Structure 1
Amino acid sequence: MTSPLKTTRNGAVLEVVLDRPKANAIDLATSRAMGEVFTDFRDDDSLRVAIITGAGEKFFCPGWDLKAAAEGDAVDGDYGKGGFGGLQELRGLNKPVIAAVNGIACGGGLELALSADIILAASHASFALPEIRSGTVADAASIKLPKRIPYHIAMEMLFTGRWIDAEEAARWGLVNRILPADDLMAEARAMAQQLAKGPPLVFAAIKEIVREAEDMKFQDAMNRITKSQFATVERLYRSEDQLEGARAFSEKRDPVWKGR
C-alpha cells in the first residue's frame, strides 16, 4: 500500500507532504499516520520546524474523506494522536509549523492549516467551510476561526459555506502572504530554515504562553509567568541558551543555540 505521507528531512526541518490522490482527503488511517509523524517531530530534539503541504497543484486538503466514510470510516472514529490530521489536538507541540497551502483548503483541510503557526498560500489557493451544506458542523473551525479573523467574516463562512480566494484570505489575515505557485515551497523552505536557526527554547516558550494565555486575562497570564508556572519559560530561564544569548550580544556575534 502506498503511504499517504511523504516526509523529508532537511537538516532541522521536516517536510510533510499529504499525498492521497485525487484530492489529498484524510481518512482515519491517514489521520493516524499524520499523528505519528507529528508526534515524532514534537519529540525529536534534532528537528526544529515542520512544513505541511499537499501533493499536486490543485488540492492542499479538502478535509474528511467522504468516500472512506461511505465505505465505513466513522466520523467519530479513532483519528489517532493529535486528533484529526495529527496537529490540532497534539499536546506540547512547541515548535513552529508552517502550512504551505498549494490549492483548495476546505473543511478539515482549512482546519489543518489553522493548526499551523504560519500560513503561506499559493495565489490560486481557495478556502471554505462547506460543512453547513451537508448538515454538519466544522467543529475545530468554529472554535478557531472567529479568533483568527473578524468575527462577522468567520460567521459568514461558517453559516454559508462560501469560498474565499487567496487575496480575500490575506485581507482578513487568514494567511501570512500570497506567492506564485512556483515560488510557494521555496518560500516555505526559506522561512523554515530561517526559523531553524532561531532559539528553540524561546519558540517553545512563545508557543506555550500563546496557547495557555488565549482565554486568560492579561494579568492572570503574567502572574503565571512570574510565579514560574510555565514549564517552557522556566526551562528557558535556566538554560545554557539564555546565557549564550547574553554572551553573543555582548561579544557582538551570532549566537549558537543548542536547545538546552
Structure 2
Amino acid sequence: MPEFVLTEKRGNVGIVTLNRPQVLNAWNTAMRVELIEAFDAMEADAAVRAIILTGAGDRAFGAGQDLNETKTFDADRAEEWVGEWERLYDRIRSLSKPIIAAVNGVAAGSAFQVALLCDLRIGHPGVKMGQPEINSGIASTTGPWIMREIIGLAHTIDLTLTGRMMDAEECYRIGVLNRIVPQDKVMEEALALAEHLAEKPPTAMRLNRQRFREMTEAGFRDALAAGVRIQREAYASGEPARMMEKFLASRAARKG
C-alpha cells in the first residue's frame, strides 16, 4: 500500500495527494516512486480525464527535497538522484491528461518545479513559491530550465540566485499562479477547472499536451545532462552536505 501518496477519484477527475505533512510533504525516494506509480494508474484509467495534484495539510503543497536524505549523498548517489527526477518529470510531461496543481501553503524547490510542470496552478493569498535551493547548498539545473519556460530568464536568475520566496500576488502577476481564491476554496476551484478540462475532446487534449512536450523536450534533456555534471561536481566538493547540516541545525534551533 502506498505510504506517502494518496489517490482518489471524484467522477472523471483523479486526485493525487502528497502525504508527508509532518515534513511539509518533502520528497524522498519512496515518495517519488509512489508518485510515478499513482500517475501511471491515472494514465491507464480511461475513466480519469483530468488530474489534480495537491499536498496534505494546509501548510504546504511541498517543501521540496527532504534534506535529511540528500545530506548523505556522494557524487555517485547525486547522479542517481538526477535520474529519479528525470523519471518523475518525464512521467508528468508524458501524461495524456491535463494536470492541475492545487497549491496550499508553500511550494519550494523541486515542489515549485513540479507545480510549474502542471498545466495550471490554483493558489490562495498565503501561498509562498520559489527556488530556495541555493540556501541549502543545492545547485539548480532542472529548476532554471522549467522556470525559464514559464516566467522567462530575468525572473529565473532572480529566484535562483537569491533563493527568495514569492508571495501569491507576485506569483499571479508573473504567471506562476493562474488563479487565487480563498484557501478553503482551492480544492473546490481546482475540481471545477478539472471537470471543465475533462469535458474537452480527449484526443485533442492528448495531442496538445504532446506538442507542449515536444516544444520543450530539447531543453529538458539538456537540463538533465547538465544536472548529472553539475550535481556530481557540487557533491564532490562537500559543500551541499555542509550547508544542509547548517540549515537543518538552524531550523532545529528555531523549533527548540
Q: TM-score category by the smaller chain? A: 0.7 to 0.9
Any runs of at least 4 consecutive aligned residues in structure 1 with deviations exceeding 6 A, and if so which?
A: none
With the length of structure 1 as denominator, give the TM-score of the two structures. 0.76
With the length of structure 2 as denominator, give the TM-score of the two structures. 0.77
Shift of 1:84: 3.0
Q: What number of residue pairs does the alignment pair up? A: 214
The whole-number CA distance in structure 2 between the counterparts of 1:31 and 1:193 is 26
More helix by share: 2
- Which runs of 5 or more residues in structure 2 are unaligned? 219-256
Shift of 1:166: 0.7
The percentage of aligned residue pairs carrying the same residue is: 34
The whole-number CA distance in structure 2 between the counterparts of 1:97 and 1:85 is 18
For 1:135-150, list aligned pairs within 5 A. 135-150=137-152
1:179 maps to 181
Secondary structure of the 1:119 match is strand
Secondary structure of the 2:89 match is coil
Secondary structure of the 1:102 match is coil
Shift of 1:214: 3.9
Structure 1 window deviating more from structure 2 (53-62 vs 127-136): it is 127-136
The whole-number CA distance in structure 2 between the counterparts of 1:110 and 1:120 is 13
Secondary structure of the 2:7 match is strand
Q: Go from structure 1 to structure 2 and tell me whether the alpha carbon gap of 1:79 and 1:162 turns closer, same or farther (over 3 Å shift).
A: closer
The amino acid of 1:32's aligned partner reads: V
Q: Go from structure 1 to structure 2 and tell me whether the alpha carbon gap of 1:97 and 1:87 turns closer, same or farther (over 3 Å shift).
A: farther
1:163 maps to 165
1:221 maps to none
Q: CA RMSD in A?
A: 2.3
Given that residues 13 and 198 in structure 2 are in contact (C-alpha distance below 8 angstroms), is that contact kept between their aligned partners in structure 1? yes
Given that residues 32 and 79 in structure 1 are in contact (C-alpha distance below 8 angstroms), is that contact kept between their aligned partners in structure 2? no
Q: Go from structure 1 to structure 2 and tell me whether the alpha carbon gap of 1:79 and 1:132 turns closer, same or farther (over 3 Å shift).
A: closer
Q: Deviations over 1:118-174 (max 9, x none)?
A: 111121110121111223222221111012113211110011111110100110111
Q: Go from structure 1 to structure 2 and tell me whether the alpha carbon gap of 1:167 and 1:208 turns closer, same or farther (over 3 Å shift).
A: same
The whole-number CA distance in structure 2 between the counterparts of 1:34 and 1:56 is 17
1:200 maps to 202
Q: Go from structure 1 to structure 2 and tell me whether the alpha carbon gap of 1:7 and 1:206 turns closer, same or farther (over 3 Å shift).
A: same
> Radius of gyration: which is bigger?
1
Secondary structure of the 1:89 match is helix
